[in-house]
């Protein structure tokens, strides 16, 4: 949610930011909010003045009655009554204007960082740096579901019968590998000083409205019928919501948190052939990192968060690159964002496996997350980033660790979580149910 002071004091800067995000249809909102803000402040000023006058007159009534001036007292009582009705009307106007202003400021995009490249969509994102040497082996890399099927690690048909498209059963060594990656990611982040959480997997609508835009909510969230509860699309939602309405102590900052959760997403829209299988699904698990910090510290933590993801993937010998998201690819709450993309030997290109975001004070402003300061309270900054999100990460892992004979190499950091296993191979033929 944009700061009303920015619209009040520098509406042209807000408009220019909207143009940079190629959302010209929202320009009118700035003028509407500015005008409503004037009306709101005028109504509030008039209301405060009326309350003072009403209190003053109310005090006169008793004195007039004591002096026997009943007629004058009755006239003052009528004045007070009329003021009460006018105040009621003003309060209703204030409430309406406040709601109308909030509704509009919720969809005006946050001010982006000056370093963000200007572009219309993700096709204009800018590569920052590559890490690791991308390799294309001299043998064929099959599609990821074919790799998994060869080692008897997936059952899509049964999932189709129980749940429909976008769901899956993982089994055997692949299921164990999936869990091992998450366990390794948990310990990786704990070793970097992050506190580990398992949060609620359902949250109230007020939290949803605080952590994301309405469009994102409509495209992502599953609502529990008959309840004010939504299934989370990422544990960031619960983790930021944990601080809702809180006033934080400076000495407790920053909060460096890493959280595990299942994630549930509608994944609205049509998707291409490269996004079938395990790439775009309705249910998956993820290890997330979240930081709540002082405003001046958020650029530092932004760099720390995306570097954590790069280091995690490189520890498993997966080549990655970082990509700066351009202005048109930023969600409305984001100040700055970069994607981490993993190398696909099969496609001979990189694909997204995580996203790091600095949201400035947008979420904190919506949720009322403040820091107690010496000269008054102020809003915290929030950041989030994906450590790892299987099963999508499995695609990169399988392609980069597939041997020519169809076996899958297990990198050394994962072997303790796999009982010392070094390879995943096709099991002996056995009856399956």
What is the predicted pLDDT for the residue at 274?
54
Report percent pLDDT > 90 for the chain. Answer: 79
Say yes or no: 32 and 177 in one domain: no
How many domains, the chain? 2
Angstrom CA distances, 364 to 66, 347, 371, stand at 54, 40, 10
The residue range of the domain holding 405 is: 122-424
Among 46, 79, 105, the domain-final residue is 105
Q: Is residue 346 part of a domain?
A: yes
Confidence grade of residue 430 (pLDDT, cut at 50, 70, 90): very low
What is the C-alpha to C-alpha distance for residues 426 and 424, in angstroms, rounded to an integer? 7
In this prediction, residue 391 carries a pLDDT of 81
Question: Same domain for 149 and 35?
Answer: no
Quick check: 433 pLDDT over 60?
no
Same domain, 195 and 78: no
Are residues 393 and 254 both part of a single domain? yes
DSSP, res 23: -
Q: Are residues 93 and 157 in the same domain?
A: no
Q: Tell me what pLDDT residue 49 has.
A: 87
pTM above 0.85, yes or no: yes
Percent of the chain, pLDDT > 70? 97
How many angstroms separate the Cα of 400 from the Cα of each of 86, 134, 375, 429?
A: 72, 9, 54, 26
Degrees (nearest 5) of the Cα angle 89, 94, 97? 125
Q: What is the mean pLDDT of residues 374-401?
A: 94
Q: Which residues of 268-297 are buried (b: 16+ CB within 10 A; e: fewer)?
A: eeeeeeeebbbbbbbbbbbbbbbbbbbeeb
Biggest alpha carbon–alpha carbon distance for the chain: 108
Tell me the per-residue pLDDT of 160-177, one tens digit each, with 9 for 90 and over: 999 998 899 999 999 999
Q: Look at 8-22, 52-66, 124-138, 214-228 and tell me which has the smallest mean pLDDT.
A: 52-66
How many other β-carbons are positioned within 10 Å of the β-carbon of residue 242? 20
Q: What is the pLDDT of residues 83-96, one digit of tens each?
A: 888 888 899 999 99
Residue 432 lies in a domain: no
> In this model, does residue 272 exceed pLDDT 70?
no
pLDDT over 60 at 273, yes or no = no
Q: Does residue 202 belong to any structural domain of this protein?
A: yes
| Residues 357-367, mean pLDDT to the nearest whole number | 96
Shared domain for 71 and 25, answered yes or no, is: yes
Decide if 320 is inside a domain. Answer: yes
181 and 99 fall within a common domain = no
Asked whether the predicted pLDDT for residue 76 surpasses 80, the reply is no
Same structural domain, 232 and 380: yes
For the ranges 114-123, 197-206, 265-274, the lowest mean pLDDT is seen at: 265-274
309 — pLDDT class (breaks 50, 70, 90): very high
Q: What is the CATH number of the domain that holds 37?
A: 1.10.287.40
Q: Do the Cβ atoms of 389 and 354 come closer than 8 Å?
A: yes
In 163-297, where does DSSP find H-type helix?
A: 172-190, 205-211, 214-220, 235-241
Mean pLDDT (whole number) for 137-154 = 94
In a shared domain, residues 186 and 83: no
pLDDT above 70: residue 269: no
pLDDT higher than 80, residue 277: no
> What is the total residue count of the chain?
433
Q: Is residue 44 part of a domain?
A: yes
- The domain that holds 375 is classified in CATH as 3.30.930.10
* 433 occurs within a structural domain: no
pLDDT tops 90 at residue 299: yes
Report residue 400's pLDDT band, with 50, 70 and 90 as the boundaries: very high
| Per-residue tokens: 203 | 């949250």
Residues 404 and 293 in one domain: yes
- Does residue 432 register a pLDDT over 60? no
Yes or no: say if 384 and 261 are a contact pair by the CB < 8 Å rule: no
pLDDT at 270: 46
The answer on 220 and 354 residing in a single domain is yes
- Are 130 and 252 found together in one domain? yes
pLDDT of residue 429: 42
Across residues 355-384, what is the average pLDDT? 96
Q: What is the overall mean pLDDT for the chain?
A: 92
Q: Is residue 126 pLDDT above 50, yes or no?
A: yes
């Amino acid at each position: 949610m944009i700061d009303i002071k920015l619209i009040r004091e520098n509406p042209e800067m807000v408009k220019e930011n909207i143009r940079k995000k190629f959302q010209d249809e929202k320009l009118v909102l700035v003028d509407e909010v500015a005008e409503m803000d004037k009306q709101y402040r005028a109504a509030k000023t008039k209301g405060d003045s009326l309350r003072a006058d009403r209190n003053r007159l109310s005090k006169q009534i008793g004195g007039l009655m004591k002096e026997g001036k009943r007629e004058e007292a009755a006239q003052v009582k009528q004045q007070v009554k009329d003021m009460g009705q006018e105040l009621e009307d003003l309060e209703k106007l204030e409430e309406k204007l406040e709601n109308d202003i909030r509704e509009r400021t919720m969809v005006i995009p946050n001010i982006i960082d000056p370093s963000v490249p200007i572009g219309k969509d993700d096709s204009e994102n800018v590569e920052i740096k590559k890490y690791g040497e991308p390799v294309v082996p001299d043998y064929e890399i099959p599609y990821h579901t074919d790799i998994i099927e060869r080692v008897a690690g997936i059952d899509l048909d049964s999932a189709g019968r129980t749940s429909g498209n976008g769901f899956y059963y993982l089994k055997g060594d692949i299921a164990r590998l999936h869990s091992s990656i998450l366990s390794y990611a948990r310990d990786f982040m704990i070793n970097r000083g992050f506190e580990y959480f398992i949060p609620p997997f359902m949250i109230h609508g007020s939290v949803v409205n605080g952590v994301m835009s309405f469009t994102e909510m409509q495209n992502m969230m599953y609502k529990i019928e008959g309840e004010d509860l939504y299934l989370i699309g990422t544990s960031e939602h619960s983790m930021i919501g944990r601080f809702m309405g809180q006033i934080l102590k400076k000495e407790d900052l920053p909060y460096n948190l890493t959280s595990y959760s299942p994630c549930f997403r509608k994944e609205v829209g049509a998707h291409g052939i490269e996004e079938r299988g395990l790439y775009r699904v309705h249910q998956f698990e993820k290890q997330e990192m979240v930081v709540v910090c002082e405003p001046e510290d958020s650029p530092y933590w932004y760099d720390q968060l995306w570097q954590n993801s790069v280091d995690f993937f490189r520890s498993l010998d997966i080549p990655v690159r970082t990509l700066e998201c351009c202005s048109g690819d930023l969600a409305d709450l984001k100040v700055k964002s970069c994607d981490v993309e993993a190398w696909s030997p099969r496609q001979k290109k990189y694909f997204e496996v995580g996203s790091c975001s600095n949201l400035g004070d947008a979420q904190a402003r919506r949720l009322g997350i403040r820091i107690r300061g010496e000269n008054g309270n102020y809003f915290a900054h929030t950041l989030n980033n994906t450590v790892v999100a299987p099963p999508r990460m499995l695609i990169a892992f399988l392609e980069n660790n597939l041997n020519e004979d169809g076996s899958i190499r297990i990198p050394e950091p994962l072997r303790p979580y796999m009982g010392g296993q070094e390879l995943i191979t096709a099991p002996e033929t056995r009856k399956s149910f």
